[in-house]
């Protein structure tokens, strides 16, 4: 009996690294690995498909950008029944802002999978957000709408979309925590340290203690973001007592 | 045994008319009729939901606009593998242009279901496109992505999206037909007449004959559009001979 020669080692070597990396980011197994590879392919590589069409992540970015906007629109529609069309439009732009998507892409460390002829250190910040959108486009093409929605929910909405904060009602969770500690006469401490690990980007970790107890930990690409994230976690953990 | 009193006449009277009208437009049965009613509710009616939030089609329009863009993006992504991001963006704007959506909404005669305190004759052209987008939003909320995609495919992509024509490669199917007839030394005739029927908008019908045979019929809200539509049908029917 003859098996195709690649059946036992279809994810070996470089492909295997990519497969593991992408599965980790997705939280599910990709079906068509090729389309995810395309989502990380920078135009500088100058690849063409079998018909001679240029192959890079830009077309998938176009698709993912649109799908991301739709899922966020649906979420806002459901979550804010009192918001009119103008409000929904404004909130969606905040969520899918370039800055926000770049942060997201950085946190997922997508750059480590990017294939490019330009050194990665030469890229501006936008590569992170662009590749994130391309990844959403790839999921849409590979697994369809449902997986896309799930991915955006898990990777964007749950960790990043805080409507109160986007509305400017909560400026900073750190200030809420400090205020509460002062009122309660409790000592607090933000212990920040560099924790880059194997990432290509510098990362910071923070442990927030109130009294003598560590109440929240977080990790991000800047000190300020790590502190804010830990504060938010602490805030929700303590919400009954703070509220 | 007690049945809820509305079980036997849940679609009677005004509701029944709306139910029949909307089912005809959708091509499937709506589940939550209320959401479709919202899609046709103009702000002038000043309705509020049970929580006091203003109720009209504008929030659904926001949602439908986004979903429509996504489905069209996916279609273009699949149909034009050689088009880059700039091309895809340009083509999508042509397809979802205000003018195009207004035409679509008019052809479906959506205005007949609109609930408004302003006389319908006082509305500008945009009401047609806005309500069309709201309807897409309503389908998304009622039946989810798959039904939305199917609806957009049947009602937008198949009848309206002609990539060659949008690219400007084919300016007019009427001119192609005329050219072919002249070359073949065949007589042709566009027989146009008013055919408004029960519609609130004026409609025109056209029968295109080549030689002594009617080769295509069409109906639209202007003479020019009806002629173009009949020409396009004739073109595809005759394609083997013309091509």
pLDDT at B4: 46
The span from the CA of B205 to the CA of B79, in Å, is 31
pLDDT band of A188, cuts 50, 70, 90: very high
pLDDT at B2: 47
Task: Using CA coordinates, name the residue in chain B closest to A70.
Answer: B66
| Beta-carbon count within 10 A of A189 CB | 13
Query: Cβ of B145 and A146 within 8 Å?
Result: yes
- For A228, B5, B19, B35, B59, the CA distances from B9, given in Å and listed in that order, are 56, 8, 12, 19, 30
B182-226 residue pLDDT tens: 888 899 999 999 988 877 778 899 999 998 899 999 998 888 889
Instruction: Report B:120-149 residues touching A (Cβ under 8 A).
Output: 137, 140-141, 145-146
A149 given a catalytic annotation: no
Considering A141, A166, A191, which residue would you say is the last residue of a domain?
A166
Q: Is residue A148 part of a domain?
A: yes
Q: Is residue B148 part of a domain?
A: yes
Residues of B serving a catalytic function are 65, 133
Residue A241 has pLDDT above 80, yes or no: no
pLDDT at B168: 78
Interface confidence (ipTM) of the complex: 0.76
Residue B28 has pLDDT above 90, yes or no: yes
Q: Is residue B6 part of a domain?
A: no
pLDDT at A5: 43
Same domain (yes/no): A106, A210: no
Same domain (yes/no): A46, A80: yes
Q: Is residue A205 part of a domain?
A: yes
Same domain (yes/no): A88, A140: yes
Q: What is the rounded (10 degree) CA torsion for A49, A52, A54, A60?
A: -50
CATH of residue B228's domain is: 3.30.160.20
Contact B139, B26 (CB under 8 A): yes
- Give me chain A's average pLDDT, please: 89
Q: Is residue A8 part of a domain?
A: no
Q: Is residue A7 part of a domain?
A: no
B77-96 residue pLDDT tens: 999 999 999 999 999 999 99
Same domain (yes/no): A40, A131: yes
The span from the CA of B26 to the CA of B139, in Å, is 9
pLDDT at B240: 61
Contact A128, A112 (CB under 8 A): no
B210-222 residue pLDDT tens: 988 999 999 988 8
Q: Output the DSSP codes for B174-203.
A: HHHHHHHHHHTT--EEEEEEE--TT-SS--
Asked if A153 is an interface residue toward chain B (Cβ–Cβ < 8 A), one would say no
- For A122, A155, A157, A199, A218, the CA distances from A107, given in Å and listed in that order, are 19, 10, 14, 10, 12
A98-153 residue pLDDT tens: 988 999 999 899 999 999 999 988 898 999 999 999 999 999 999 999 999 999 99
Same domain (yes/no): B177, B105: no
Q: Is residue B46 part of a domain?
A: yes
Same domain (yes/no): B117, B36: yes
Same domain (yes/no): A41, A126: yes
Asked if A6 is an interface residue toward chain B (Cβ–Cβ < 8 A), one would say no
Considering B106, B134, B162, which residue would you say is the last residue of a domain?
B162
A141: which chain B residues are within 8 Å (Cβ-Cβ)?
A: 77
Highest mean pLDDT among A197-201, A222-226, B112-116: B112-116
Q: Output the DSSP codes for B46-85.
A: -EE-TTS-EESTHHHHHHHHHHHHHHHHHHHHHH-TT--H
Query: Cβ of A62 and B85 within 8 Å?
Result: yes
Same domain (yes/no): A153, A209: no
SS3 sequence of chain A: CCCCCCCCCCCCHHHHHHHHHHHHHHCCCCCCHHHHHHHCECHHHCEECCCCCEECCHHHHHHHHHHHHHHHHHHHHHHCCCCCHHHHHHHHHHHCCHHHHHHHHHHCCHHHHCECCCCHHHCCCHHHHHHHHHHHHHHHHHHCHHHHHHHHHHHHHHHHCCHHHHCCCCCCHHHHHHHHHHHHCCCEEEEEEECCCCCCCCCEEEEEEECCEEEEEEEECCHHHHHHHHHHHHHHHHHHHHC
A60-109 residue pLDDT tens: 999 999 999 999 999 999 999 999 999 999 999 999 999 889 999 998 99
Domains contained in chain B, number: 2
Same domain (yes/no): B196, B234: yes
Same domain (yes/no): B158, B178: no
- Give me chain B's average pLDDT, please: 88
pLDDT at A12: 58
Which residue intervals of chain B are DSSP H helices?
Answer: 13-26, 33-39, 58-79, 85-95, 98-107, 126-143, 145-152, 158-160, 163-166, 173-183, 223-242
Q: Is residue B168 part of a domain?
A: no
The conformational region for residue B228 under phi > 0 = left, psi -120 to 50 = alpha, else beta, is: alpha
CATH of residue A79's domain is: 1.10.1520.10
pLDDT at A175: 87
Domain that holds residue B87: 13-162
A65 given a catalytic annotation: yes
Same domain (yes/no): B29, B119: yes
What is the distance in angstroms between the Cα of B80 and the nearest Cα belonging to chain A?
10
Considering A119, A143, A166, which residue would you say is the last residue of a domain?
A166
pLDDT at A201: 79
Query: Cβ of B63 and A49 within 8 Å?
Result: no
Same domain (yes/no): B154, B208: no
Of A1-15, A143-157, A192-206, least confident by mean pLDDT is A1-15
**Vertex A90, ends B47 and A138: CA angle to 5°?**
110
């Amino acid at each position: 009996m003859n098996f195709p020669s690649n059946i036992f080692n279809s994810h070996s070597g470089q492909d295997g690294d990519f497969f593991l990396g992408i599965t980790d980011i997705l939280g599910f197994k990709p079906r068509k690995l090729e389309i995810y590879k395309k989502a990380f392919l920078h135009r500088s590589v100058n690849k063409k498909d079998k018909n001679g069409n240029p192959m890079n992540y830009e077309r998938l970015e176009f698709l993912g950008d649109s799908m991301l906007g739709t899922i966020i629109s649906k979420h806002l529609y459901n979550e804010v029944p009192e918001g009119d069309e103008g409000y929904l439009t404004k909130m969606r732009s905040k969520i899918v802002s370039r800055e926000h998507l770049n942060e997201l892409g950085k946190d997922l460390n997508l750059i480590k999978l990017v294939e490019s002829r330009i050194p990665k250190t030469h890229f501006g910040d936008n590569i992170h957000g662009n590749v994130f959108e391309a990844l959403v486009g790839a999921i849409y093409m590979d697994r369809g709408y449902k997986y896309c929605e799930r991915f955006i929910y898990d990777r964007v909405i749950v960790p990043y979309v805080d409507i109160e904060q986007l509305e400017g009602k909560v400026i900073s969770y750190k200030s809420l925590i400090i205020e509460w500690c002062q009122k309660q006469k409790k000592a607090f401490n933000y212990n920040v340290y560099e924790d880059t690990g194997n990432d290509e980007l510098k990362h910071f970790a923070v442990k927030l203690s109130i009294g003598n107890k560590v109440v929240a930990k977080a990790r991000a690409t800047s000190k300020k973001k790590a502190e804010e994230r830990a504060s938010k976690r602490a805030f929700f953990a303590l919400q009954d007592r703070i509220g």
